[in-house]
Structure 1
Amino acid sequence: MSDFIYEKDADGIVTVTMDMAGQSANTMNARFVPGMQDVIAKLRAEEDLRGVIFASAKKTFFAGGDLNDILATTRADAETFAYIEANKAVYRDLERLPVPVVAAINGAALGGGYELCLACNHRIVADDPKAVVGLPEVTLGLLPGAGGVVRLTALLGLEKALPYLLEGKQAKPQQALSEGMVDAVVAKDELIPAARAWIKANPDSQTQPWDRKGFRYPNGDALHPRIRQTIQVSSAMLFQKTRGLLPAPEKILDIAVNSMRMSFDAALRMESRGIVALMTTPECKAAITTFFFGMQAIRSGKVRPEGPQWKASKAAVLGAGMMGSGIAYAHARAGLTTALKDMEMARAEKGKAYSQALCDKAIKRGRMSEEARAALLDKITPVTDDAACKGADIIIEAVFEDIDLKETVIPETWKQLADDGIYGSNTSTLPISILAESCPDPTRFIGLHFFSPVDKMKVVEIIMGEKTSAETLRRAYDYVQQIGYMPIVVNDSRGFFTSRVFGTFMDEGMQLLQDGMSPAAIERAAWKAGMPVGPLAVSDEVSQVLSQKVRRTHEALDARLGVESDFGHHNTASARVVDAMIAQGRGGRHYGGGFYDYASDGTKSLWPGLSQFAQGNAEVPMEDAIDRLLYRQAIETLRCLDEGVLNTEVEANLGGIFAIGFPAHTGGAIQFIRGIGVDAFNARAKALAERYGERFAIPDAAFDRLRDSAAEAA
């Protein structure tokens, strides 16, 4: 019982303080169940026990299960089921004690931690915004398997419970109180006294509501007309949101609904079977690997160069177009003073107005106050003079994607940089090493590729040039985190990582168009694959004009350097279709129409003229179309990793999801390959290459290295 501090006072109330040895947080580790069994046995042996309080010696209350154990689980067998049942049995034993039990929640109680609270008769939480409660297991491809689905449904009723179960929502103290997830909110130092006082005032409150005779579910059971309607609507909305690609939400909804149709203990066993089934799914492994351990690696700085933390206090953004305006807003929202420069004051002021419009929208939605808007806008100063940027810790060049323009702007504005400041270019495809030739000190020059719209796309691709110093990389990494964005570090190449991969997605949509697949079926294949937008629709948003300009820019760069790069080498359909579309006045949404026609009421429909691009009338199976869209991106990501453009699988996976929209349920492109199996993926890629072209071919050596890296990690 070294992990549990057991103290009994003169009133017969026992306080059990959880303090897992050698850990910063309390978790369901290998010692948890035996320790809890010992605690419960000792409580049962007490002769004059009047009540029990569960508290924590850590900053958080309880963090839940050990995800490493879940990752290591490969079989949904009787042994795994027994393990889950043992974990939740201690909670059932706890709520069957003959005295009232109180959870004194001093900090975050999530997952298994909140399930422990649910097994208590009364829940008191500290008045601290960090003391959140919730069941986020669904975000990890799991379900709350220690009674969370069954108990929360019984406590709140189906309607109120579903958002917390299906979305993994977390509630701060006051919201948790109003929702009925906790029973009281007190000051942190009043937690234990308040728990003792409640036990003394409620000596006969030891029976849980669901164990009382005549228990009724709040707002009705599964047969109630209103609840039956909720079930129908929830099922439809869930499929619309997940597209049937995420097994966890479907399983949770099924268990929550059916738990109301059977005995409580039978429902708990059904819940155990549900989590066992989910633990071995590719979706679960992907979510834990990418969204828990991957995000943890990024946030903790595991891929950040070592050195002291750096913080910018003054910034300048050059170019008040859509990207520059968005970057200025991101700065201001993080409290970073920014000069927003353009050639004309009207354009610079229009750039600031972009931030005001975003603030106004936030105020309308109740997410921002007038004072907060004024403070944010005060951080942005529209300017036209370079001197106004003097002393900036960081300058972000965000002018048009034109190498000649950038090579003019960079040296002109460099002199305004602070002596130890860094200079970033918001280029999406142009080599940083070449742009660095135009600045006085290439060691302080780096690529900082934001994504549009900047206020929603919270990721930045940091591109290392050949001469960029580790110090500059560290400062750029800190800057990106300072403004609340996710840094993804890559090495210099044509198109870097994200633009290369994104280009393959758009191209494969056009390849399918050439093969004779109907445009509607192409967009449907992308939907079924889990992409946020179809390749034809997203091509219109990017615009054919920009796609053509990027290609021609790199052709001109090849001519200037006397080389023939392989950037976009396989994107043959894009070159043919885009040029023809532009020639017919179909430049994209911004230009009045492209693959789609756009009506004045905001609706859109596929342009009938797309049939002209079909070079054949091939019957492309939907399964092939889905695989082609995903495999093209995964293969290009693997190429980037194999070539050293990408440094880590973590950044490959998270960058692909958050910057490009690679389906989140896969855990990212490299995790997608691992989820299928390296050899199985390779075999399928070869089959696609034989049938559809060499763009799906990749050397076996790349797969060998991927296989070897997995063995090393193990």
Structure 2
Amino acid sequence: MQDFIWDKDADGIVTVTMDMQGQSANTMNARFEPGMRAICDRLEAEPGLTGVVFASAKSTFFAGGDLHDILATETADEQSFAFIEANKAVYRRLEKLPVPVVAAINGAALGGGYELCLASNRRIVLNSPKAVVGLPEVTLGLLPGAGGVVRLTALLGLEKALPYLLEGKQVQPADALAAGMVDEIVETADQLIPAAKAWIRANPTAHVQPWDQKGFRYPGGDTLAPKNRQIIQASSAMLYQKTRGLLPAPEKILDVAVNSMRMNFNAALRMETRRFIGLMASKEAKAAISTFFFGMQAIRSGKVRPEGAPWKATSAAVLGAGMMGSGIAHAQAARGIQTLLKDTDLANAERGKAHSEKLCAGAIKRGRMDEARRDALLGQITPATENAAPGTIDIVIEAVFEDIDLKEKVIAETWPMLTPEGIYGSNTSTLPISILAEACPDPTRFIGLHFFSPVDRMKVVEIIMGAKTSQDTLRKAYDYVQQIGYLPIVVNDSRGFFTSRVFGTFMDEGLQLLVDGMAPAAIERAAWLAGMPVGPLQVFDEVSLILGQKVRKTHAALDQRLGVDSGFGRHNTATVAVTDPMIAMGRGGRQYGGGFYDYDSEGKRTLWPGLAQFARGNAEIGIKDAVDRILYRQAIETLRCLDEGVLNTEIEANLGGIMAIGFPAHTGGAIQFIRGEGIDHFATRARQLAELYGDRFAVPDRTYDLLRGKSDMAA
């Protein structure tokens, strides 16, 4: 009972205030069920009881299940089943009390927290943007396991419940009220408990849940209702199109929601438990929890940020008004940073600002922005051809063409704009930061800030440390990236850094499959089945074959200048063998009229028939091998980056790979993918692929030792 505060008033209403000791939020930890069971025992025996209010002493209402416990679950066994059933049993006992139960929601009520609200007869929420409600379990590879699927389906009906269950939306108070997820909103926290008690006094007999009432009918009808039959059929197809069969949680949620309408309520709750414990032990759930919850939490909380006072940029300059520079300028202006958008031609700079106008118009059309916010954002961007006054800019970002001579010239010319405490970032995607830093007076204040295209949708920035970049500069760069609402991934300097190296292996492996004789359509299909957003041939067309060739030539010239052999892209042999001849044929990619695909006047694409000429083999490569080659190639290159010290942590490897490269999200990222497969199993399969297809899959055993015995490289 130490986690629950009991208070009974003169009217017989008991307020149970949840205050889990030793933690910042109320969760379903090991003490929760015994404590709630004791509360239920006392409530059922309490003389003169007229109602119950559940409240919270924390800033949030209830955060749901303890994810550490779920990560520790290895198998779906009887013990897991009993644990979940016991937690559900106390909720069932609450809704069977002969008095009304009200949830007074002062802050976020998510997962098991909102399931407690669903087991209450009334839900009253504080009018605060932090007081969100919802069932986000699907985003963690799980389903709501404390009655959430069954109760929300019964409360809202199938059609209205499915979006909240399958998308895991966190719903603001006004929207929750409109949807029927809560029943009342109060303006201040002090009004919550009085409002709950007032409702109890006015409705002393309102203690039977709708689904426990005789003659209960599901809102919108049961599974035989014509509209629901259509929803069930369409949902199955839409789910497969979206998940490709790689995520079990959405399918199980749909299964429970639909079948719960066909059976006894208690039986439906038990079925929900069975589906839940199967997901608890799944590698998909462990991947999602590790990466998207704990990993994201570590990045956002600054776990890999250098210590020091917070830093905030108020002025910025972006050099180069192409798509990348224009996107960076928009991201800065959207967060209130006064931005100089500089180009050699004023018309180009104006077009760069027009990009923001277009994005604002789209946001207004979707109802996400008003004209006042648009005007404020656009007012932050100043197109120009000249430098700002010396010593006036907090952060300069160079986003000119990927040409080392041009970049060095621009860096030297624009450095004087910086304030004494300002920092300079280069948006290069592959050129060594340590070499570019030689063009500036103070290399300690120079850092790589690699954005991804399109900038407005790719909310991640690869921060690259040069040999002389200071920790102070890293701290400021980290804070800047978070200031504009993007996710910072910190890596160390090398050719291609992390993301470009791994992305190059994805595209190259697609061409390796082409050279080996696999049909182009089958290659693209294998990438789809693997979970990649777009196939390697389509990706090559979008980024352009010519750009890839220019990058190779730039690094060859840099090697010659430095008198070294960097080995950059040494394994990407198929890229050279296929794209160089295609470029010579005038097929440089989509923007050049065609590449691996032909494009008609409406932009529709069809695979170019001429690709057959590049097949050197005629092996029957199975889809399983093709999928593994696409995934293993990227995972191995990520592991090499970790081994070489290009990457610092598994967290950054996983999140960076998913958000910047498109590594399949269901795996939790490349390193988590290796863990999910099992390190020994992955190593064995990699050796098989190396024997069959080449040493690009070969990894020394000592490299795998990085992962053995360590659960989190960032810990």
Q: TM-score, normalised by structure 2?
A: 0.99
Alpha-carbon distance between aligned partners in 2 of 1:665 and 1:389, rounded to the nearest angstrom: 48
Match of 2:272 in 1: 271
CA contact under 8 A between 1:316 and 1:389: conserved in structure 2?
no
> Cα deviation per residue 1:522-549 (whole Å; 9 max; x = unaligned)?
0000000000000000000000010000
Match of 1:455 in 2: 456
Alpha-carbon distance between aligned partners in 2 of 1:278 and 1:302, rounded to the nearest angstrom: 29
1:67 aligns with 2:67: yes
Shift of 1:708: 3.4
Match of 2:122 in 1: 122
CA contact under 8 A between 1:448 and 1:463: conserved in structure 2?
yes
Match of 1:572 in 2: 573
What pairs up with 1:497-576 in 2 under 5 angstroms? 497-576=498-577
CA contact under 8 A between 1:326 and 1:354: conserved in structure 2?
yes
Match of 2:233 in 1: 232
> Cα deviation per residue 1:565-591 (whole Å; 9 max; x = unaligned)?
111000000011111110011000111
Alpha-carbon distance between aligned partners in 1 of 2:79 and 2:632, rounded to the nearest angstrom: 36
What pairs up with 1:89-104 in 2 under 5 angstroms? 89-104=89-104
Match of 2:675 in 1: 674
What one-letter code is carried by the residue in structure 2 that aligns with 1:159? E
Shift of 1:225: 1.3
Match of 1:473 in 2: 474
Match of 2:284 in 1: 283
CA contact under 8 A between 2:340 and 2:388: conserved in structure 1?
no
Alpha-carbon distance between aligned partners in 1 of 2:182 and 2:705, rounded to the nearest angstrom: 52
Match of 1:29 in 2: 29
What pairs up with 1:379-390 in 2 under 5 angstroms? 379-387=380-388, 390=391
Match of 2:140 in 1: 140
What one-letter code is carried by the residue in structure 1 that aligns with 2:69? D
Q: TM-score, normalised by structure 1?
A: 0.99
Match of 1:39 in 2: 39
What one-letter code is carried by the residue in structure 2 that aligns with 1:121? N
Match of 1:157 in 2: 157
Shift of 1:282: 0.7
1:661 aligns with 2:674: no
The alpha-carbon distance between structure 1 residues 712 and 661, as it changes in their structure 2 partners (threshold 3 A), is: closer
CA contact under 8 A between 1:28 and 1:64: conserved in structure 2?
yes
Alpha-carbon distance between aligned partners in 2 of 1:445 and 1:282, rounded to the nearest angstrom: 40
Match of 1:168 in 2: 168
Moved over 6 A (4+): 711-714
Match of 1:205 in 2: 206
Alpha-carbon distance between aligned partners in 2 of 1:380 and 1:549, rounded to the nearest angstrom: 31
What one-letter code is carried by the residue in structure 2 that aligns with 1:21? Q
Alpha-carbon distance between aligned partners in 2 of 1:517 and 1:156, rounded to the nearest angstrom: 49
> Cα deviation per residue 1:116-142 (whole Å; 9 max; x = unaligned)?
000000000011111000000000000
Match of 1:319 in 2: 320
1:415 aligns with 2:416: yes
Alpha-carbon distance between aligned partners in 1 of 2:287 and 2:590, rounded to the nearest angstrom: 35
Match of 1:433 in 2: 434
Shift of 1:390: 4.8
What one-letter code is carried by the residue in structure 2 that aligns with 1:46? E
1:372 aligns with 2:367: no
Task: Give 3-state SS (helix, strand or coil) of 1:552's partner.
Answer: helix
CA contact under 8 A between 1:431 and 1:492: conserved in structure 2?
yes
Task: Give 3-state SS (helix, strand or coil) of 2:421's partner.
Answer: strand
CA contact under 8 A between 1:339 and 1:388: conserved in structure 2?
no
Match of 2:605 in 1: 604
Alpha-carbon distance between aligned partners in 1 of 2:702 and 2:390, rounded to the nearest angstrom: 49
Task: Give 3-state SS (helix, strand or coil) of 2:137's partner.
Answer: helix
What one-letter code is carried by the residue in structure 2 that aligns with 1:313? T
Shift of 1:713: 9.1
1:17 aligns with 2:20: no
What one-letter code is carried by the residue in structure 2 that aligns with 1:261? R
Shift of 1:189: 2.0
Unaligned runs of 5+ in 1: none
What one-letter code is carried by the residue in structure 1 that aligns with 2:20? M
What one-letter code is carried by the residue in structure 1 that aligns with 2:648? N
> Cα deviation per residue 1:305-325 (whole Å; 9 max; x = unaligned)?
011110011000000011000
Task: Give 3-state SS (helix, strand or coil) of 1:705's partner.
Answer: coil
Alpha-carbon distance between aligned partners in 2 of 1:301 and 1:563, rounded to the nearest angstrom: 37
> Cα deviation per residue 1:137-177 (whole Å; 9 max; x = unaligned)?
00000000000000000000000000010110111001000
Match of 1:652 in 2: 653
Match of 2:635 in 1: 634
Alpha-carbon distance between aligned partners in 1 of 2:60 and 2:123, rounded to the nearest angstrom: 15
Shift of 1:391: 1.0
What one-letter code is carried by the residue in structure 2 that aligns with 1:603? K
Alpha-carbon distance between aligned partners in 1 of 2:517 and 2:23, rounded to the nearest angstrom: 59
> Cα deviation per residue 1:643-689 (whole Å; 9 max; x = unaligned)?
00000000000000000000000000000000001110000000000
Alpha-carbon distance between aligned partners in 2 of 1:423 and 1:112, rounded to the nearest angstrom: 46
Alpha-carbon distance between aligned partners in 2 of 1:481 and 1:75, rounded to the nearest angstrom: 38
The alpha-carbon distance between structure 1 residues 685 and 418, as it changes in their structure 2 partners (threshold 3 A), is: same
Task: Give 3-state SS (helix, strand or coil) of 2:710's partner.
Answer: helix
Task: Give 3-state SS (helix, strand or coil) of 1:563's partner.
Answer: coil
The alpha-carbon distance between structure 1 residues 47 and 227, as it changes in their structure 2 partners (threshold 3 A), is: same
What one-letter code is carried by the residue in structure 2 that aligns with 1:164? Y
Match of 1:346 in 2: 347
Alpha-carbon distance between aligned partners in 1 of 2:209 and 2:469, rounded to the nearest angstrom: 63
What one-letter code is carried by the residue in structure 2 that aligns with 1:145? G
Unaligned runs of 5+ in 2: none
Alpha-carbon distance between aligned partners in 1 of 2:280 and 2:35, rounded to the nearest angstrom: 24
Match of 1:106 in 2: 106
CA contact under 8 A between 1:315 and 1:389: conserved in structure 2?
no
Q: Which moved more, 1:407-416 or 1:187-196?
A: 187-196
Shift of 1:709: 2.6
Shift of 1:387: 3.1
Alpha-carbon distance between aligned partners in 1 of 2:713 and 2:62, rounded to the nearest angstrom: 32
Task: Give 3-state SS (helix, strand or coil) of 1:460's partner.
Answer: strand
Alpha-carbon distance between aligned partners in 1 of 2:387 and 2:338, rounded to the nearest angstrom: 16
Cα-Cα RMSD: 1.0
Number of equivalences: 714
What pairs up with 1:179-258 in 2 under 5 angstroms? 179-187=179-187, 188-258=189-259
What one-letter code is carried by the residue in structure 2 that aligns with 1:83? F
1:81 aligns with 2:81: yes
Task: Give 3-state SS (helix, strand or coil) of 2:333's partner.
Answer: helix
CA contact under 8 A between 2:394 and 2:422: conserved in structure 1?
yes
What one-letter code is carried by the residue in structure 1 that aligns with 2:170? Q
> Cα deviation per residue 1:176-217 (whole Å; 9 max; x = unaligned)?
001000001111221111101100110110100000110000
What one-letter code is carried by the residue in structure 2 that aligns with 1:175? D
The alpha-carbon distance between structure 1 residues 532 and 711, as it changes in their structure 2 partners (threshold 3 A), is: closer
Match of 1:442 in 2: 443
Task: Give 3-state SS (helix, strand or coil) of 2:388's partner.
Answer: helix
The alpha-carbon distance between structure 1 residues 612 and 389, as it changes in their structure 2 partners (threshold 3 A), is: farther
Shift of 1:559: 0.5
Task: Give 3-state SS (helix, strand or coil) of 2:49's partner.
Answer: coil
Match of 2:614 in 1: 613
Shift of 1:389: 7.1
Task: Give 3-state SS (helix, strand or coil) of 1:146's partner.
Answer: coil
Alpha-carbon distance between aligned partners in 2 of 1:488 and 1:712, rounded to the nearest angstrom: 14
The alpha-carbon distance between structure 1 residues 711 and 64, as it changes in their structure 2 partners (threshold 3 A), is: closer
What one-letter code is carried by the residue in structure 1 that aligns with 2:163? P
> Cα deviation per residue 1:419-443 (whole Å; 9 max; x = unaligned)?
1100000000000000001110000
Task: Give 3-state SS (helix, strand or coil) of 1:540's partner.
Answer: helix
The alpha-carbon distance between structure 1 residues 22 and 656, as it changes in their structure 2 partners (threshold 3 A), is: same
Task: Give 3-state SS (helix, strand or coil) of 1:324's partner.
Answer: helix
Shift of 1:388: 5.0
Alpha-carbon distance between aligned partners in 2 of 1:542 and 1:192, rounded to the nearest angstrom: 57
The alpha-carbon distance between structure 1 residues 184 and 532, as it changes in their structure 2 partners (threshold 3 A), is: same
1:686 aligns with 2:713: no
Shift of 1:602: 2.4
1:3 aligns with 2:17: no
> Cα deviation per residue 1:562-618 (whole Å; 9 max; x = unaligned)?
111111000000011111110011000111100001111221110011001001111
